[in-house]
Amino acid sequence: GAVVSQHPSRVICKSGTSVKIECRSLDFQATTMFWYRQFPKKSLMLMATSNEGSKATYEQGVEKDKFLINHASLTLSTLTVTSAHPEDSSFYICSARELSSGSYEQYFGPGTRLTVT
Amino acid sequence: AQSVTQLGSHVSVSEGALVLLRCNYSSSVPPYLFWYVQYPNQGLQLLLKYTTGATLVKGINGFEAEFKKSETSFHLTKPSAHMSDAAEYFCAVSKPGTSGSRLTFGEGTQLTVNP
């Protein structure tokens, strides 16, 4: 149980285009989903926290107009990188917290490797 | 604010040797503590967690960790390393409570297992 998927696993896009990354909880309902960014050989940096049906809360220094987050249902959150540039190239990981268990555990997706050329 | 320090960005052990990965935390309240493992180009997998109760926590793949409040530590150990244990390990802390469960991660420790 508690499986989180991400799609796509890898994406290459041209500078100036937008890219959407999906995060799904496959076998549970997630009240809260988190989006992280990980640079090579580095730790995970929390970008934003999204709650179903409400606006995402962004961490300091993260541009909300550039990284659009939508959490339209209890099983799906999307991250759209708008007008992507090479410096946005990174590994993006989502996680989800289960609704009913009372657990504070986050279940992580497998990540999406974004390369902007 | 919470923070996590992992001593040693790289740890190398021989197969069959003891694995010890160090984690110290800073928190204004007793925290929840986690260890995650990450294989290349993959997400994070939970190894074990401490929330309340017994301070020695056993996790998957033979790993365990002990919460020591007096030392503000949560070191990860495994008695005998296996080649498949080679990966990146992250210690993380969160603040107990009904809101957030926001995780703060350490910088990670790359474990190498030598044959």
With an 8 Å Cβ cutoff, are A111 and B42 in contact? yes
d(CA A45, CA A35): 9
**Average pLDDT, stretch B67-87?**
96
* Region of poorest pLDDT, from A52-56, B35-39, B62-66: A52-56
**Contact in structure between B102 and B95 (CB atoms under 8 Å):** yes
Q: For residue B13, is pLDDT > 70?
A: yes
Q: For residue B51, is pLDDT > 60?
A: yes
Q: For residue A37, is pLDDT > 90?
A: yes
**Number of A–B residue contacts, CB under 8 Å:** 50
pLDDT tens per residue, range A60-73? 999 999 999 998 88
Task: Indicate the pLDDT class of residue B92, thresholds 50, 70 and 90.
Answer: very high
Residue where the block lists tokens 């990860």: B76
**Average pLDDT, stretch A79-102?**
89
- Supply the DSSP symbol for B84: G
Percent of chain B with pLDDT over 90: 75
> How far off is chain A from B32, nearest CA to CA, in Å?
9
**Contact in structure between A93 and A108 (CB atoms under 8 Å):** yes
Substitution target in A43, A45, A59, A105 with the highest count of B β-carbons within 10 Å is: A43
C-alpha torsion B95→B89→A27→A101, nearest 10: -30
With an 8 Å Cβ cutoff, are A91 and B41 in contact? yes
Q: For residue A86, is pLDDT > 60?
A: yes
pLDDT tens per residue, range B26-49? 988 888 999 999 998 888 999 999
- For chain B positions 77-96, those within 8 Å of chain A (CB to CB) are 90, 94, 96
**Contact in structure between A8 and A113 (CB atoms under 8 Å):** no
